[in-house]
A and B are shown apart, each in its own frame.
Chain A
Amino acid sequence: MTTRIDTRFAELKAEGRAAFVTFVMAGDPDPATALEIVKALPKAGADIIEIGMPFTDPMADGPSIQAAGLRALQAGMTLRKTLQLVRDFRSSDNKTPIVLMGYYNPIYIYGVDKFLPDAKAAGVDGLIIVDLPPEEDAELCLPAIKAGLNFIRLATPTTDDKRLPAVLANTSGFVYYVSVTGITGSASADSSAVSAAVARIKRHTKLPVCVGFGIRTPEAAHDIARHANGAVVGTALIDALKGSLDSDGKATARTVSAVADLAAALAQGVHGAKQAAE
């Protein structure tokens, strides 16, 4: 099975550059604006789009992404509507990989057996579920792989060499290395530590390794992209979105461009980076 994610990384490898991976929240600040934002991201240079599934209790997220999820929920976002967002995006873009990222409960309540075919049909390529470690693989990971979706696992600084094989065993698409122990939007990791960590993971897998958490500027993205197969930016984009909202937290004429413009600058940082030889 080859997903859009596998195809995209093969293309990037041929071009000798790293992936720019963006994270935005489905339905933030409202479903229609969120769709426009997602549509604008590939044009701005995003190679892979992670879309957050809003959840009331995002235990691994910092204040920016927490607030984004709450804005989306207040605007009436649901998991069903998140799948609709992907379907709408796919009507004009059948190439850019889409990864849904979030927490397990909304999927569990939707019903795993129903969610996986619905997600696949909507055009979802992969899933990142923060609160499903390998110990719970039977819940969603194994069924997702069977349904033809990539299950992308987080590896962290606390995932030692002993544990890495278990973490990587059922991972596909890419490995998401969380560069700091912490919540999203926290302090950034320095690139030498990241470089060592990526090298360590690569000793255990042939999968691409993308790095996230704490990357906020084109310079930082550039730096990370030299050492990894991709750089993930989320909080910075969400902060740009938030800065464009009116005093009631509603979208303005600037909202889509605020996110797209920052994405374009970050993309330049990533794409200008020369990849260290594999």
Chain B
Amino acid sequence: MTQAIPNSYRSGPDDTGHFGIFGGRFVAETLMPLILDLQKAYEDAKADPAFRKEMDGYLKAYVGRPSPLYFAERLTEHLGGAKIYLKREELNHTGSHKVNNVLGQIMVARRMGKKRIIAETGAGQHGVATATLCARFGLECIVYMGAVDVARQQPNVIRMEMLGAKVVPVQVGARTLKDAMNEALRDWVTNVHNTFYCIGTVAGPHPYPMMVRDFQSIIGEETRVQMQEIEGRLPDSLIACIGGGSNAMGLFHPFLDDPSVDIYGVEAAGHGLTNLHAASIAGGRPGVLHGNRTYLLMDEDGQIQEGHSISAGLDYPGIGPEHSWLHTIGRVKYLSATDEEALAAFQLLSKLEGIIPALEPAHALAKVSELAPTLPKDHLMVVNLSGRGDKDVPQVGDILKGRQS
């Protein structure tokens, strides 16, 4: 099957929410009217200059944008190749890129008059961002989180509760992100009249993949301007980790039509691709789950398999539909990094740059360690440092301590 190369990689999705064969609106009838309302509300908001202006105000004064583009001098020296820049999304309020999207969605929810916000969370970063903005705007907040993730990301659970959110540990399935999303969807079906579902990644039924991408695209838009200012040209490559893929899509999207820019997404290979992992593109195939068609990990009967990753934020057996499309047409190259490689990169960045990354972007950093030494010294590479590692300090500390004894 040959794929036609589109005139632009940035024109999707179509009116029915499809990126090629991916995406769509695979939801229960109960939710469908609300999803159509949401699509309309989002289109209205996008066309309203007052909405953009209000967003920009909060992005600047509350989130702390723009986030810096930082030249990682010692990491560059250590790897001995490409010049590495970090897009410092971990400096945002709440500690990750998640807040960009949550701010946008909460403002849409307010326009729709919804007072009850639900969210799913894996590592807790999206949950914290949602709890934060619900506190800021006086909205009720319920966060569904797999019981396994509740245990391994305790600092974020405590933060969400301090912010006034109710954290519901999900006890079914593998008790991680996929199960949290199922429970959130069940809540939404039940409370559809007053509830807004704030999805944390570029997945779910249309318009979510598009809407979340649009809110996250500020990452790439800033990077374009900043790189022009610093180096006077575009970067040569971009790299970001992928669970659902929102930080990656946010960085990539504004560069998709620049053929000189190589783009890499890094999935979580867990214990390795022949073992337990969460790399949907490397180890999965197209299927339908959580409202969209996309690459999924599943068995031959179409039953969804559990993801596995050291990082709770990447521990999902699917990926956003636009990534599936970009993979199929070959615009973005999808790689994967194991738990061990991510742990090594986590320690390397901490020691060389004094920046403790979250385990999620540590997967991207692991591939930087592989790619950068093979590239010339004038190659400009941007890594999305999507979150800070504070939440992972207890978990990584335990792992490292276990190895010493």
The reply to whether the CB of B288 lies closer than 8 angstroms to some CB of chain A is: yes
Residue B231 at the chain A interface, CB threshold 8 Å: no
Across the interface, B32 reaches (CB within 8 A) one of A103, A104, A107, A135, namely A135
- How many residue-residue contacts, CB under 8 A, span A and B? 118
Tell whether A178 pairs with B182 under 8 Å between CB atoms, given A57-B304, A105-B289, A105-B302.
Answer: no
Please tell me if the beta carbons of A131 and B193 are within 8 angstroms of each other in the complex. no
- B1: min CB distance to chain A, Å: 16
The answer to whether the Cβ of B190 comes within 8 Å of any Cβ in the partner chain is: yes
Task: Evaluate contact between A181 and B25: CB separation under 8 angstroms.
Answer: no
A160 touches B178 (CB 8 A): no
- CB–CB B172/A133 < 8 A: no
CA of A151 to CA of B292 in the docked complex: distance in angstroms?
Answer: 21
A232 CB within 8 Å of chain B = no
| CB neighbors of A among B20-50 (8 A) | 24-34
Chain B contact residues (Cβ within 8 angstroms of A): what range? 35 or more
Chain A residues within 8 Å of B288, by CB = 103-105, 108, 131
A107 nearest in chain B by CB position: B302
Interface of A is mostly: loop
- A155 sits at the interface (CB 8 A): yes
Contacts of B287 in A (CB 8 A): 105, 108-109
Cross-chain contact B24 with A136 (CB below 8 angstroms): yes
Whether B114 sits at the interface, judged by CB under 8 Å, is no
How would residues 137 to 170 of chain A score, 1 for a CB under 8 Å from any chain B CB and 0 otherwise?
0000000000000000111111110010001000
B189 at the interface (CB under 8 A from A): yes
Of A58, A63, A132, which is within 8 A of B26 by CB?
A132
Residues of A near B298 (CB, < 8 A) are: 105, 109
Residues of A101-133 at the interface with B, using a CB-CB cut-off of 8 Å, are 103-110, 130-133
Cβ-defined contact, B28 with A133, below 8 A = yes
Please tell me if A193 contacts chain B, counting CB pairs below 8 Å: no
The complex places the Cα of A74 from the Cα of B186 at a distance, in Å, of 23
How distant is the Cα of A154 from the Cα of B173 in the complex, in angstroms? 26
Of the residues A57, A108, A160, A181, contact of B190 by C-beta under 8 Å = A181
Residues of A within 8 A of B190 (CB): 181-183, 186
Bound Cα distance from A187 to B288, whole angstroms: 29
- Docked-complex contact A183 and B189, CB < 8 angstroms: yes
Interface presence of A196 (CB below 8 A): no
Q: Which chain B positions have C-beta within 8 A of A160?
A: 33
> A105-B287, A160-B33, A163-B33 known; A131 and B302 CB under 8 Å?
no
Q: How far is the CA of A105 from the CA of B31 in the complex (A)?
A: 18
Are the C-beta atoms of B32 and A106 separated by less than 8 Å?
no
Tell me if B33 and A158 are in contact (CB < 8 A): yes
Smallest beta-carbon distance A84→chain B, Å: 13
Q: A78 at interface (Cβ–Cβ under 8 A)?
A: yes
CB distance from B39 to the nearest CB of A (A): 11
Nearest Cβ in chain B — how far from A101, in angstroms?
12
User: Would you call A273 an interface residue if the criterion is a C-beta within 8 Å of the partner chain's C-beta atoms?
Assistant: no
Assembly CA distance A107 to B293 (angstroms) = 13
Among B32, B186, B298, B301, the most chain A Cβ lie within 10 Å of the Cβ of B301
Chain A interface residue number, banded? 35 or more
Q: How far is the CA of A266 from the CA of B156 in the complex (A)?
A: 48
Q: Which of A41-72 contact B (CB under 8 A)?
A: 54-63, 66
Question: At the interface, yes or no: B303 with Cβ under 8 Å from chain A?
Answer: yes
- Asked if B302 contacts A183 (CB within 8 A), the reply is no
A181→B189 contact, CB < 8 A: yes
Inside 8 A of A54's CB, which chain B residues have their CB?
303
User: Is A240 in the interface zone, CB < 8 Å from B?
Assistant: no
Q: What 1/0 flags go to B163-200 for Cβ under 8 Å of A?
A: 00000000011000010001001100111110000000
A73 at the A/B interface (Cβ < 8 Å)? yes
User: Which of B32, B178, B303 is in CB contact (< 8 Å) with A55?
Assistant: B303
Give the nearest-CB partner of A131 in chain B.
Answer: B26
- A105 proximity list for chain B (CB < 8 A): 287-289, 296, 298, 302, 304
A108-B32 contact given A59-B290, A60-B189, A131-B27, CB 8 Å threshold: no
Known: A66-B172, A105-B298, A131-B27. Contact between A57 and B192, CB under 8 A?
A: no
Q: When chains A and B are docked, how far (Å) is the Cα of A131 from the Cα of B185?
A: 12
CB pair B301–A106 under 8 Å, yes or no, is yes
CB distance from A238 to the nearest CB of B (A): 16
Q: Is the CB of A79 within 8 A of B302?
A: yes
CB proximity of A197 to chain B, nearest CB, Å: 13
Interface: B405 (CB within 8 A): no
**Are the CB atoms of A178 and B289 closer together than 8 Å?**
no
On chain B, the residues within 8 Å of A186 by CB distance are 190
Q: Which of B262-307 contact A (CB under 8 A)?
A: 287-291, 293, 296, 298, 300-304
Chain A residues closer than 8 Å to B186, beta-carbon distance: 59-62, 183
Residue of B nearest to A110 (CB): B302
Chain B, Cβ-Cβ closest to A66? B172
On whether the beta carbons of A135 and B29 are closer than 8 Å, the reply is: no
Q: How far is the CA of A63 from the CA of B25 in the complex (A)?
A: 24
**Distance, CA A54 to CA B303, complexed state (A):** 9
- Please tell me if B16 contacts chain A, counting CB pairs below 8 Å: yes
Give Cα A107–Cα B303 distance, bound, in whole angstroms. 10
List, in ascending order, chain A residues with CB within 8 A of B192's CB: 158, 181
Chain A residues with Cβ under 8 A from B302's Cβ? 55, 79, 105-110
Contact B29 A57 (CB under 8 A): no
Known contacts A105-B298, A181-B193, A186-B190: A133-B303 contact under CB 8 Å: no
Evaluate contact between B29 and A156: CB separation under 8 angstroms: yes
Residues from chain A with Cβ under 8 Å of B29 in the complex: 133, 153-156, 158-159, 167, 178
Give every chain B residue within 8 A of A153 (Cβ-Cβ): 29
6 A-B contacts, Cβ less than 8 Å apart?
A55-B302, A60-B30, A60-B186, A105-B302, A108-B302, A133-B32
Binding site for A on B (CB under 8 A): 16, 24-34, 172-173, 178, 182, 185-186, 189-193, 287-291, 293, 296, 298, 300-304
Additional A-B contact list (20), CB under 8 Å, known A56-B173, A131-B26: A57-B289, A58-B182, A59-B290, A60-B189, A66-B172, A79-B301, A103-B288, A104-B26, A105-B289, A109-B301, A110-B301, A134-B32, A135-B16, A154-B29, A157-B30, A158-B33, A158-B192, A181-B30, A181-B192, A182-B189
Closest 9 CB pairs between A and B?
A109-B302, A106-B302, A182-B190, A156-B30, A78-B301, A131-B26, A59-B185, A133-B32, A56-B304
